[in-house]
Amino acid sequence: MHGDHQELRHQPVAAIRQAIRSGRYRSHTAGLGDGFLQANLVILPESVGLDFMRYCQRNPKPCPLVGVSDTGNPMMMTLGADIDIRTDVPAYNLYRRGRLEGSTTDICADWTDDMIAFALGCSFTFERALGEAGIPIWHVENNTTVPMYRSSIDTVPAGPFHGKMVVSMRAVDAARVDEVIDISRRFPLAHGAPVHVGDPAEIGIADIARPDWGDPAPVLPGQVTMFWACGVTPQVAIEAAGVPLCITHKPGHMLITDVPEDAEVPVLAPAD
């Protein structure tokens, strides 16, 4: 059911989404859809939708809002052709009253007419640019999920949504840290520049070898740990908010859009 990640790396975005929709591919999306924006997902009832939009607006680094569905409509019309948010993400997490209930690969049975889907930019998007610059990314080269951590950095609350920022980590050779900062800064819809460089303990991470989400990644001699704001941050805020039902992507399992990764305005005109 997981398909062939290496094969999909060379496929167009529409073919990748079809493999996901059909159930042929259910694994992580790092390294897929080169050149196109990947997105985190949050689906909430309309009753708290405006509060969540405020939360994103107040926390643009971890929550760069790139798309919002119409209420009750699962088609993400501004992000690409024929994107059904109920089936086109490899895996979803379901939260009930702030507690993770479990994961699923299809949310058609859970979708209701009062739901709104929010798509948030993802740091996977700038990894291709790093690769093109000859900067290796361990989790991409080793077919694992980027390590993610709960940090001690506070987010700005909105309504019931609040909590600490989640960060993703990439270890980079010390001589290339400034270059990595410059490259990632070019992608504001994908979290932009890192929020911290250096000692993990300074942002509340006690053990770099034990991520809260994703897979551990080594930090080799001569490398520096770099941390980016992460789109799993809303999942922490959702836990705190205790919303009756919320659906998110499973960390590492993103929506791949038709939006170019270097776009400054993430809206595609719907096809006629």
pLDDT above 60 for 1 = no
The whole-number pLDDT of residue 267 equals 54
Per-residue pLDDT averaged across 185-204, rounded? 93
> What CATH number does the domain containing 251 carry?
3.40.1640.10
Residues 24-42: pLDDT tens digits?
999 988 888 888 888 989 9
Question: What SS3 string covers the chain?
Answer: CCCCHHHHCCCCHHHHHHHHHCCCCCCCCCCCCCCEEEEEEEEEEHHHHHHHHHHHHHCCCCCCEEEECCCCCCECCCCCCCCECCCCCCCEEEEECCEEEEEECCCCCCCCCCEEEEEEECHHHHHHHHHHCCCCCHHHHCCCCCCEEEEEEECCCECCECCEEEEEEEEEEHHHHHHHHHHHHCCHHHCCCCCEECCHHHHCCCCCCCCCECCCCCCCCCEEEEEEECCCHHHHHHHHHCCCCEEEECCCCCEEEEEECCCCCCCCCCCC
Same domain for 145 and 201, yes or no, is: yes
CB 255 within 8 A of CB 41: yes
Q: Which pLDDT value is given to residue 268?
A: 53
Q: What's the total number of domains in the chain?
A: 2
133 and 67 part of one domain: no
Look up the domain containing 224 and give its range.
Answer: 124-229
The CATH number covering residue 192 comes to 3.30.2040.10
Whether 205 has a pLDDT exceeding 80, the answer reads yes
Q: Would 265 be classed as within a structural domain? A: no
At 19, the pLDDT band (50, 70, 90 cuts) reads very high
pLDDT digits (tens, 9 = 90+) for 60-113: 999 999 999 999 999 999 999 899 999 999 999 999 998 999 999 999 999 999
Residues 157-168 have a mean pLDDT of: 96
pLDDT tens by residue, 126-152: 787 888 899 988 987 887 888 999 999
Residues 184 and 145 in one domain: yes
pTM reported for the whole predicted model: 0.85
d(CA 150, CA 134): 29
Does residue 235 belong to any structural domain of this protein?
A: no
Residue 30 lies in a domain: yes
Considering the domain boundaries, does residue 271 fall inside one? no
Residue 137 domain flag: yes
C-alpha 30/C-alpha 9 separation (Å) is: 9
Give yes or no: residues 20 and 114 share one domain: yes
The reply to whether 20 and 118 lie within a common domain is: yes
Res 272: pLDDT: 42
Residue 73 lies in a domain: yes
Residues 166 and 202 in one domain: yes
| 269 pLDDT above the threshold of 70 | no
68 and 169 together in one domain? no
Q: State whether 117 and 11 are in the same domain.
A: yes
**107 and 158 co-located in one domain:** no
